[in-house]
Amino acid sequence: MSTTHYAKSHEWIRIEGDIATVGISPYAQQQLGDVVFVELPQPGATLVRGKEAAVVESVKAASEVYAPVSGTVIEANAALADDPSLVNQDAGGSGWFFKLKLSDTAEIGELLNEDDYTALIAELE
């Protein structure tokens, strides 16, 4: 059973066992505008919670994507290289960025659940 959690920096993370899939939220893609390029981490790379994991570029801005939890990258979404618009079309699904193997499951406790995140973005608007 997987649940979706969120980081305050607008990344979502779906965890199954000790494997997590990470992307950016629909709110984040809307703020960015048309995504033109995504720079993804290499499989094998070590990510630290809260540190830069990827970069997402739109026409007018480039934003860092931070690792919501620490771990090792096992797969990057190759589809984004050919079609970065997947991030805009389906941020929560086929627009995923990378999968990683968690190194510290305790970090999950620090993430926001769906309701908390919805409240957060409501405040921003």
Residues that bind other proteins (CB under 8 A): 33-34, 36-37, 39, 57-62, 84-85
Least distance in angstroms from the C-beta of 34 to other proteins = 4
Q: Is 29 helix (H, G, I), strand (E, B) or coil?
A: helix
**How far is CA 105 from each of CA 62, 69, 71, 72, rounded to the nearest angstrom?**
30, 8, 10, 13
- Our CB check for other proteins shows the closer of 55 and 74 to be 55
- Our CB check for other proteins shows the closer of 61 and 119 to be 61
Question: How far is Cα 76 from Cα 115, in angstroms, rounded to an integer?
Answer: 28
Least distance in angstroms from the C-beta of 10 to other proteins = 18
